[in-house]
Structure 1
Amino acid sequence: MSKIRVAVIGCGSIAKHRHIPEYAANQNVELAAFVDPVIERAEAYAEQYGAKAFADYEAMLSEVKPDAVSVCTPNALHAPVSIAAANAGAHVLVEKPMAVSETEAQAMIDAARSNGVYLMVGHNQRFMPPHVKAKEVLKSGVLGKVITFRTSFGHPGPEGWSVDGKESWFFRKPDAAMGAMGDLGVHKSDLIRWLLDDEVSEVASFIGTLHKTETDVDDNAVCLLRMKSGAFGSLVASWTYYKGGDNSTVLWCENGVMRIGETGGDKVVVELRNGNVDTYQVGAIATNEKQTFSGVIDAFVTSIVTQTPPSISGEEGSKSLKVILAAFESQETGKIVKL
């Protein structure tokens, strides 16, 4: 079989640390093109991988005609770039949040469907070994029903992660649309939906800019979620965890508690009411400082090779996005928002 010709659109940190090296390591892939408005960034990767460099994604799509693309642009460009790529006949892997509105998300889903291509959203939390193990434990039934939960994602903010540091698009509302919630919160709305195999029915939230006053996007959010099953809990996203970053989830269940990533980030601890304690050391949750293979790229490539729709589809990405958008609506109106 001939290799899948992939174009990476947007050559910032997520492309540098995850998409590009993971495509390069996949034997089914040929990196065909790189796109970035800062053309030097695209040129550096093009030279490294024997590919073409472009400043403009539309020019790239018409000239290269890639089989698949990774959309690693600022949030506000996710929808227009993904739709253009689908219309050009390319499979699309888009970073999260997949879009900045429900309308955009639906337009992306429609474009992929009408062009007969796959649309996958890069919700990498589903692939992290502790989360995979946690879902396995939940499915085994040993803990019984989930009653309450908390899920949290916080770090010092994108200035230490983005290739542009403090000048990053992450801090500009027209480019980012949302701050910590779009960066981290949507990861957790996706994780809790997937882990619990459940949908969010109601959201209440406080979202604001508490400390990074030079930006007009949110740097903190605390949300309450009620699930369709009746379980409820909290979702926290923060860019001001300057010490002691957090990417943990705790589920309190009928028969005990499951702690995921609380200690050192690589353990799942199950404490049962009967006194039994099981600790699973299963591999790390990726952090900005400590990159591990995300699993997202391989899953996307496998979908294309086997002609199997991706599990993290546009529809899945859209459901996780709707939770975040409802949280912003709750902050604005001061009301609980029903989904």
Structure 2
Amino acid sequence: MINTSILRYSIILLVSLKMVAQEEPIKLGVIGLNHGHVGWILSRESKGDVEMVGIVETNRDLAERLSKQYNFPLDMVYSTMEEMITAVRPEAVAGFGNIYDHLAIVETCAPKGIHVMVEKPMAVSLEHAKKMETLATKHNIHLLTNYETSWYPTNLRAYELYKEGTIGGLRKVIVRDGHKGPKKINVSAEFLEFLTDPILNGGGAIMDFGCYGANLMTWLQDGKKPTSVTAVTQQLQPENNPKVDDDATIILTYDNAMAILEPSWNWPIGRKDMEIYGETGAIYADNRHDLRLRISEGYDGFSENVFRLEERTPPYDEPFALFASVIRGDTKLSPYDPYSLENNMITMEILDAAVKSAKSKKTIKINN
């Protein structure tokens, strides 16, 4: 017969060990430093959930410059993923290089059981995305894609209002994203180099900002794919973006609704906004914090509620907290969550069709 005191002590010890393990920060490796969003992790204050343990960057000048700016030691910078993984054994990595390299990150990390988060879009092509999905599924790792708009409280509230039936059945969604252009907003030379490369970025504005609308629409539609994709691209700044498009319009048709995505590097004012039109009203997510709800009254009248929303609660307020929470098992992403693999596979299918449509000047049908 087992001594009850020993049994009680064993249970307490197991619970204590589990709590300690949960409190240990996730060891995170950073792959690449040339993405302009890398400052999010380099400047992130310690919250006890994530510890940056190593960096992979072949551009020594870039590494030295950012080391001085963000005060990280150069001895944590490695030339290859294999060197970094062997030296510091990360549990997870975040990709902050060009989009083409996302596949190589998953190819290296997935077989080792290392979880991966990449910046949007998930990949440069549907072909790359399918290979990434296969590896993530085979090796049972989390593969997340980070979108800034996923943290917006306005997008969450717009989603909730729509799902609550506040504006009736969905009819049209318009998503506008972009800015004046990478060169005009003075991104770093390293960031500009791959953003304007059709191989390394998969395209120009159509990929860089078209992914936001495709991602949000897939979320709103609970993973339902469009029936067709039609896209038109232009190059309005050939002097700044000689190899890629810098303006696009993408039309998605669904059985009872339509979405118009307007990704551009030609907006005079930077923006990330969404309009959702239903049968009885409209929701305007004007930016991260400001939302308007209009309910139809007569022909052109309406009642309006205006909201100023606070930041979302952790871990949904920024990418690394969410990544750590998902890895620990504390958070389970809802079906077709903007970060989720299943959402981003459909997002990539939409982008792939949009690029093909723009090149062929034809509407591309999507198989559901």
1:303 to 326, 342, 349: 326
**Contact 1:39/1:54, CA 8 A, preserved across alignment:** no
**Contact 2:175/2:260, CA 8 A, preserved across alignment:** yes
State the 1:251 CA deviation.
1.6
Secondary structure of 1:26's counterpart equals coil
2:279 to 254, 264, 272: 254
Letter in 2 for 1:194: W
Partner residue, 1:111: 135
1:19 aligns with 2:41: yes
More divergent stretch after superposition (273-282 vs 230-239): 273-282
Partner residue, 2:15: none
**Contact 2:146/2:319, CA 8 A, preserved across alignment:** yes
Counterparts of 1:128-167 in structure 2, within 5 Å, are 128-159=152-183, 160=185, 162-164=187-189, 167=192
More divergent stretch after superposition (273-282 vs 11-20): 11-20
**Contact 1:79/1:99, CA 8 A, preserved across alignment:** yes
Counterparts of 1:199-278 in structure 2, within 5 Å, are 199-213=225-239, 214-227=241-254, 229-241=255-267, 243-261=268-286, 266-274=289-297, 275-278=302-305
**Contact 1:146/1:251, CA 8 A, preserved across alignment:** yes
1:67 aligns with 2:91: yes
1:172 aligns with 2:194: no
1:149-189 CA-to-partner distances (Å, cap 9, x unmatched) read 21111201222253227852211223222111221110111
1:125 aligns with 2:149: yes
**Contact 2:124/2:200, CA 8 A, preserved across alignment:** no
**Contact 2:28/2:52, CA 8 A, preserved across alignment:** yes
Distance of aligned partners of 1:25 and 1:182 in 2 relative to their CA distance in 1, 3 Å threshold? farther
Letter in 2 for 1:234: I
Partner residue, 1:98: 122
Q: Distance in 1 between matches of 2:187 and 2:109?
A: 25
More divergent stretch after superposition (158-167 vs 309-318): 158-167
Letter in 2 for 1:116: N
Distance of aligned partners of 1:85 and 1:39 in 2 relative to their CA distance in 1, 3 Å threshold? farther
Larger radius of gyration: 2
Partner residue, 1:76: 100
Letter in 2 for 1:90: I
Q: Distance in 2 between matches of 1:56 and 1:216?
A: 29
Q: Distance in 1 between matches of 2:259 and 2:49?
A: 42
1:53 aligns with 2:77: yes
Partner residue, 1:330: 357
Letter in 1 for 2:29: A
Letter in 2 for 1:319: I
1:194 aligns with 2:216: no
When normalised by structure 2's length, the TM-score is: 0.81
State the 1:269 CA deviation.
0.6
State the 1:233 CA deviation.
2.8
Task: Structure 2: give runs of 5+ residues left out of the alignment.
Answer: 1-20
More divergent stretch after superposition (198-207 vs 43-52): 43-52
Distance of aligned partners of 1:161 and 1:96 in 2 relative to their CA distance in 1, 3 Å threshold? farther
1:277-323 CA-to-partner distances (Å, cap 9, x unmatched) read 111111489xxxxxxx9622211110011265544222221211111
Partner residue, 1:288: none
**Contact 2:49/2:321, CA 8 A, preserved across alignment:** no
**Contact 1:225/1:233, CA 8 A, preserved across alignment:** yes
Secondary structure of 2:266's counterpart equals coil
Distance of aligned partners of 1:55 and 1:294 in 2 relative to their CA distance in 1, 3 Å threshold? farther
Letter in 2 for 1:38: N
When normalised by structure 1's length, the TM-score is: 0.88
State the 1:56 CA deviation.
2.1
Secondary structure of 2:277's counterpart equals strand
- Count residues in correspondence: 327
Alignment root-mean-square deviation, CA: 2.4
Secondary structure of 2:227's counterpart equals strand
Letter in 1 for 2:83: A
